[in-house]
């Protein structure tokens, strides 16, 4: 899934056929994405290829973080990409899906597993290999690792993944010669890396920029990782997202939630040429970047009093509406309500 979730059906907690990725009956257990992170981490230890770190980051910042409420006390076992709470109450195909996080579970594997990953996050941020120290994810941290001829000590700062500026400061007690391999994320098209005020030679191998030198205290790497709002489209074989678009900024996937956009999210449309506006949220979303765009709602007055089907013409009328997108990992922190990642996209068709 676009969220880093895996496992599309609850029966057997399993995969189904190729490209069968339903958004509402999905299983995508929190533990499964943690397992995916662990697998990607092991692959990085064998091969310094950024495709594994891309998968690891997608799982971490979306499904794994989304498995826990912002209060740290409630959890999701299952992580859907679309929820309609009224349907969950009566349709048994959704028995495994919950509209809000739960305090605990009969089989409570996910809460401690999430805690384990977050408290061992350093093993995922970095991959020490004989040829280089691979920096996979740019979350703020300080680290120290022994290398062949000394100790390499780094401090990473910034406000990742909300802001595009990252600083990596070398704090090694003695000069040490080694290679730093900086991951260039797949979502970032024009990264810029500056070392001590000068651009770095582009030695890029398998998605990592390699810099070999004698590192000493005071050396500073300044990374600019542009984070424009990007539209994401599914493969044509994924029928569940046909005609729809998802919104992503940096590694974070965004969603619509009823609390901001009202009920019947399936009636909202995002024009193909709609511009995006980013802004910092308030309250629960303080320090988090939210996204808005002009869109439409197709609605009909008193629809519950109208027939189900209409011949020849659609009864709904188009009304303008501002669409508000929040980071998907933070949904269901304001009570029960509808949510969806994949949004109808309105295209202008030409003959």
Active site positions, annotated: 13, 109
Q: Is the peptide bond before 161 cis (omega within 30 degrees of 0)?
A: yes
Q: What is the DSSP string of 34-91?
A: HHHHHHHHHHHHH---HHHHHHHHHIIIIIIHHTB-TTSS-B-SS--SEE-HHHHHH-
Q: Give how far the C-alpha of residue 343 lies from the chain's centroid of Cα atoms, to the nearest Å.
A: 16
8 A C-beta contact, residue 49 and residue 207: yes
8 A C-beta contact, residue 76 and residue 28: no
Q: What is the DSSP string of 112-123?
A: HHHHHHHHTTHH
The two structure tokens encoding residue 209: 């920029």
The two structure tokens encoding residue 149: 């001829």
The two structure tokens encoding residue 10: 């609850």
Give the residue among 120, 119, 79 at the shortest CA–CA distance from 255: 79
Instruction: Give first-to-last CA distance, the chain, whole Å.
Output: 34
Q: 241 vs 2, 215, 230, 245, 251, CA distance in Å?
A: 11, 48, 16, 7, 20
Cα–Cα distance measured from residue 30 to residue 64, given in angstroms and rounded to the nearest whole number? 6
DSSP state of 9: B
8 A C-beta contact, residue 186 and residue 204: no
Q: Would the CA dihedral through 230, 235, 240, 244 be positive or negative? A: positive
Strand, helix or coil for residue 14: strand
């Amino acid at each position: 899934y676009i969220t880093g979730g895996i496992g599309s059906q609850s029966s057997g907690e399993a995969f189904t056929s190729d490209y069968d990725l339903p958004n509402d009956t999905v299983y995508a257990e929190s533990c499964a994405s943690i397992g995916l992170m662990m697998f990607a981490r092991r692959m990085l230890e064998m091969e310094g290829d950024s495709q594994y770190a891309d998968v690891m980051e997608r799982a971490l910042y979306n499904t794994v973080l989304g498995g826990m409420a912002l209060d740290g006390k409630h959890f999701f076992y299952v992580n859907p990409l679309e929820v309609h709470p009224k349907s969950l109450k009566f349709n048994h195909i959704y028995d495994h899906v919950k509209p809000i996080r739960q305090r605990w579970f009969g089989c409570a594997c996910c809460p401690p597993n999430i805690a384990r990953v977050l408290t061992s996050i350093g093993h995922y941020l970095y991959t020490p290999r004989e040829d280089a120290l691979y920096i996979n994810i740019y979350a703020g941290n300080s680290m120290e690792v022994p290398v062949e001829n000394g100790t390499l000590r780094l401090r990473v700062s910034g406000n990742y993944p909300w802001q595009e500026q990252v600083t990596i400061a070398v704090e090694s007690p003695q000069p040490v010669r080694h290679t730093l391999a900086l991951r260039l994320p797949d979502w970032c098209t024009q990264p810029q890396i500056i070392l001590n005020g000068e651009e770095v030679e582009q030695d890029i191998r398998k998605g990592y920029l390699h810099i070999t030198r004698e590192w000493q205290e005071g050396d500073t790497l300044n990374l600019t990782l542009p984070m424009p709002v990007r539209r994401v489209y599914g493969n044509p074989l994924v029928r569940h997202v046909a005609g729809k678009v998802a919104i992503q900024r940096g590694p974070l996937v965004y969603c619509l939630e009823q609390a901001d956009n009202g009920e019947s999210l399936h009636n909202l449309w995002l024009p193909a040429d709609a511009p995006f506006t980013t802004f910092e949220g308030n309250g629960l979303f303080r320090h988090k970047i939210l996204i808005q765009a002009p869109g439409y709602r197709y609605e009909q007055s008193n629809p519950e009093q109208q027939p189900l089907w209409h011949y020849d013409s659609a009864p709904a009328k188009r009304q303008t509406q501002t669409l508000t997108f929040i980071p998907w990992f933070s949904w269901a922190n304001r009570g029960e309500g509808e949510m969806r990642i994949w949004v109808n996209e309105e295209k202008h068709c030409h003959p």
